[in-house]
Structure 1
Amino acid sequence: MRGARAALVTFALGSVGCAGATPMTPAPPSPEAAEIQARSGAPAWLPAYSAAQRALLAPVDTPIQTPAAPVYPDLGRFEYAGPARVDDLRRTLRFSSLIVTVIDKSPRLYSLDDAPPELANLIAQYGPPPSAEPDPWQAAEMSRKDRSLTLTEVKLSEEAKASLATARAKRDVGDTKAASDAFRAALVATPAAAIALELGDMLAAKGQAKEARDAFEEAVIIDPTLATAHLGIAELAAKRGDRDEARRWLAEAIAYWPASRRALALADRLTNGLASSRLTRLPLFRVFVDVDSAGAIHVGSSGGEPARIYAGCRAVMRYEPKVRARIFEQPEDVPYHLTMMEELICMESAIGVYVAARMSGKGAADPTMDALVDIARDEGLGGYVMTEILGRHRPERARVAPREVHRAMVRYVERTMLGAPLVADPDQGVYTAAR
């Protein structure tokens, strides 16, 4: 019998180890040895683990039938999924039961522990952290053949480079008219969204709102996925008090780059801080998943059945290639990579356990989970997953999301971050979400 008990709502991820034994708690290895263990086979972008994270990887003393190897995502691959609504509790419970069964029956050994949220190894799970804002000099393209993403540098003609250099020099000395002419000459030579964006930023700073908007709109036409172009229009609309237009353009901006700090700052100004304080804006589950030097899979979660089911699901998707191949209908040898479907299944599994416990009267109410259940039932989890999870860690994928996925993200942002409707508060000069 493995360490995860087979009863669904008693998915015990405490101190119980696989094969019925409790994980060993030996004297911790030296930091150098532990680091070698934790980083075995790790990619170059993975930072060193903290001492507390290394402690989570202390080898177990239980014999391991099939050692697991460290697995990190292939960042060149990614898959989307449709934003289907969660309307069948039996289906979600089947996902939950699958996770428990796999952990219970797997020849691999799972060491299941409690771990505070701050020990989550998010970079190991999702890849290196993104930049706060998209690079306007990179264009995003999705390969039709293998769905891989490429970010290519915008190439300027020699004429465009010369005009752009002149524009920047004139801008820096305050000659807005000459700078505008030079920016426009550069755009004629090489239509690039980044050039139009620079022009718009300069004109906005000089108070030329109409001309700035024209420049931002030109940037959107050249590259509709450039979040900062949408954001520029949203900021102009907010400044003149047109909250409805600001909200529309801001939702598009966030949907194209959910990690944007500048966009979130505007959202907070429009909602009097509500955008970043809403319950579902918090990372719902922060888990630790990795393999120790002996080949045991360590799964840490912050407690509670939904979090434990989610953590176990993420581990199964990562370390059980047969299960993953069956669910995703792909060969077992396809490298592990991030997918929207993985997150949807794991979130739905957690929701199923929560709803079942509430219906049985055995589970306590959780406002965050309740809000997530509402979103899952009303519009599906696609917008949540792509915005709050994958969008935070891999926002470049949002730039090339299929149209239906993008629209789901926009709806999620409008509903959850910006609130509906927005009403003016003339006393404070800000907008607040009507309750």
Structure 2
Amino acid sequence: MRGGARAALVTFALSGMGCAGAAPMTPAPGAPATESQARGDAPAWLPAYTDAQRELLAPVDTPIQVPAPRVYPDLHRFEYAGPARLDDIKRTLRFSTLIITVIEKSPRLYALDKAAPELANLVAQYGPPPAAEPDPWQTVEVVRKDRALSLVPVKLSDEAKASLATARSKRDAGETKAAVEAFRAARGFTRAAGIALELGEMLVAQKHPQEAREAFEDAIRIDPTLATAHLRLAELAEKRGEREEARRRLAEAIAFWPASRRAMALADRLSNGLASSRHTRLPLFHVFLDVDSAGAIHVGSSGGDPARIYAGCRAVMRYEPEVRARIFEQPEDVPYHLTMMEELICLESAIGTYIAARMSKEGAPADPAMEALLEVAHEEGLGGYVMTEILGRHRPERARGAPREVHQAMVRYVERTMLGAPLVADPAQGVYTAAR
């Protein structure tokens, strides 16, 4: 679908909701682009598009009233939000209506396309791919006046550096006792979780699990956000057969670094493949968002109307600074950046579209994935889902610095959705299964 697809999308959603009133927030016609948007320079981390992605950006024939500039997230900024339980259907439907109305009335032109999931330009939307595992030599620290948390390098004293070099040398030479003494000496000079982590890794290799456990626990005391230390404790617990302990530690590890491949491998072992099952994990909406050379906003999605509304919402938040400024109560010239609230609003808009369609069509078949998302939204809230499955997978450093309530929501989401209910033994099978 191209430029004319706006009307089709609006007709579908408004007929399903039984409302066609103007949204409370609509952009002013002809509003100029902000300075931060007008720059629109492509960041160095943006990869070249494939031929299929470039085809999605073919300029439209429709005249454009206000060209939209290309916009990419400012990765130095980030905002968290609360759990966002879905307990007001009317509010949910209003979010859907708002997005549809903005797209319809905007002086900017939206071209709505079907796009296969593999065409999603996730890097352009969320920034460069993250490391598979966290850097133990970075720690969370308050670095700005607004008390925002960021990862900063761990500072080692000269004495600690010298002791650490000695410890590594002794370890590599197989001199275990001397290496342990040197690691502990380094730990005495500088309080660094990375030192304790390296000591624990060495002790695991030397088959000293109890001492390794103490080292990993020491690392967590120094830096509770270091997912690797939580993960190593989970792996040790698994080897001892203490699967509930492993499960608890693993939930903490994933919540602090959702992109960890090693953590997900353990999650699959503990859940008999449940953790990565497409029937268990709530699927993401894979969308494509960008602006063509003429200034039209291309929004590509697959998977039905909820996906289209989610994609449209993400585009509105990105390319309509007036709307974003009103919703987030901030000046229009604040550079576009990632926020939990954007994802929460867009997911709720998608849910509202799904609910509206079910309400308007008696006996319409249910979508299991949307029903599961709706259940999580109603019972727990979408905060844990957003930070684990979306923002945490693309920007896990933000998960590492999440406020306590956000982290706890992520842990609950991991325990519920990835690991299932507490693991119980099945004597008949001689294996552990995840009780749902």
> TM-score of the superposition, structure 1-length normalised?
0.90
Shift of 1:293: 0.4
Change in CA separation of 1:222 and 1:428 when aligned onto 2, cut-off 3 Å: farther
Match of 2:396 in 1: 395
Shift of 1:170: 1.5
Range that drifts further, 54-63 or 160-169: 160-169
Match of 1:383 in 2: 384
Range that drifts further, 410-419 or 270-279: 270-279
Change in CA separation of 1:349 and 1:380 when aligned onto 2, cut-off 3 Å: same
The answer to whether residue 350 in structure 2 is matched with residue 350 in structure 1 is yes
1:22-80 per-residue CA deviation (whole Å, 9 max, x = no partner) reads: xxxxxxxxxxxxxxxxx972111000000000000000111100000000000000000
Secondary structure class of the residue paired with 1:139: strand
Provide the rounded CA distance (Å) in 2 between the counterparts of 1:273 and 1:100: 39
Range that drifts further, 169-178 or 114-123: 169-178
Change in CA separation of 1:234 and 1:94 when aligned onto 2, cut-off 3 Å: same
Match of 1:182 in 2: 182
The answer to whether residue 15 in structure 2 is matched with residue 7 in structure 1 is no
- The code of the aligned residue for 1:224 comes to P
* Preserved contact between residue 141 and residue 151 of structure 1 (Cα < 8 Å): yes
Match of 2:321 in 1: 321
- The code of the aligned residue for 2:229 comes to A
Provide the rounded CA distance (Å) in 2 between the counterparts of 1:407 and 1:245: 17
Match of 1:421 in 2: 422
Shift of 1:375: 0.4
- The code of the aligned residue for 2:353 comes to V
Q: How does 1:292-371 map onto structure 2 within 5 Å? A: 292-361=292-361, 363-371=364-372
Secondary structure class of the residue paired with 1:431: strand
* Preserved contact between residue 284 and residue 390 of structure 2 (Cα < 8 Å): no
* Preserved contact between residue 77 and residue 149 of structure 1 (Cα < 8 Å): no
Shift of 1:278: 4.5
* Preserved contact between residue 114 and residue 300 of structure 1 (Cα < 8 Å): yes
1:331-383 per-residue CA deviation (whole Å, 9 max, x = no partner) reads: 11100000000000000110111122223336432211111111001000000
Provide the rounded CA distance (Å) in 2 between the counterparts of 1:120 and 1:190: 44
Secondary structure class of the residue paired with 1:75: coil
Shift of 1:152: 1.7
1:201-234 per-residue CA deviation (whole Å, 9 max, x = no partner) reads: 1112222111111100110011111000111111
Q: How does 1:18-97 map onto structure 2 within 5 Å? A: 41-97=41-97
Match of 1:135 in 2: 135
* Preserved contact between residue 160 and residue 189 of structure 1 (Cα < 8 Å): yes
Query: Which ranges of structure 2 fall in alignment gaps of 5 or more residues?
Result: 17-38
- The code of the aligned residue for 2:195 comes to I
Q: How does 1:143-222 map onto structure 2 within 5 Å? A: 143=143, 145-146=145-146, 148-222=148-222
- The code of the aligned residue for 2:375 comes to D
Shift of 1:163: 1.3
* Preserved contact between residue 142 and residue 400 of structure 1 (Cα < 8 Å): no
Shift of 1:87: 1.2
Secondary structure class of the residue paired with 1:55: helix
Secondary structure class of the residue paired with 2:99: helix
Provide the rounded CA distance (Å) in 2 between the counterparts of 1:3 and 1:428: 55
* Preserved contact between residue 2 and residue 105 of structure 1 (Cα < 8 Å): no
* Preserved contact between residue 2 and residue 104 of structure 1 (Cα < 8 Å): no
Provide the rounded CA distance (Å) in 2 between the counterparts of 1:187 and 1:388: 35
- Alignment RMSD: 2.0
Match of 1:408 in 2: 409
Query: Which ranges of structure 1 fall in alignment gaps of 5 or more residues?
Result: 13-38
Provide the rounded CA distance (Å) in 2 between the counterparts of 1:79 and 1:241: 40
Secondary structure class of the residue paired with 1:250: helix
* Preserved contact between residue 278 and residue 416 of structure 1 (Cα < 8 Å): no
Change in CA separation of 1:325 and 1:236 when aligned onto 2, cut-off 3 Å: same
Secondary structure class of the residue paired with 1:219: helix
Match of 1:374 in 2: 375
1:101-142 per-residue CA deviation (whole Å, 9 max, x = no partner) reads: 000000000011100000000000000000000000111224
Change in CA separation of 1:52 and 1:40 when aligned onto 2, cut-off 3 Å: farther
* Preserved contact between residue 64 and residue 109 of structure 2 (Cα < 8 Å): yes
* Preserved contact between residue 8 and residue 96 of structure 1 (Cα < 8 Å): no
Shift of 1:283: 3.8
* Preserved contact between residue 11 and residue 100 of structure 1 (Cα < 8 Å): no
Change in CA separation of 1:425 and 1:202 when aligned onto 2, cut-off 3 Å: farther
Provide the rounded CA distance (Å) in 2 between the counterparts of 1:253 and 1:285: 25
Provide the rounded CA distance (Å) in 2 between the counterparts of 1:426 and 1:211: 32
* Preserved contact between residue 271 and residue 432 of structure 1 (Cα < 8 Å): yes
Range that drifts further, 415-424 or 310-319: 415-424
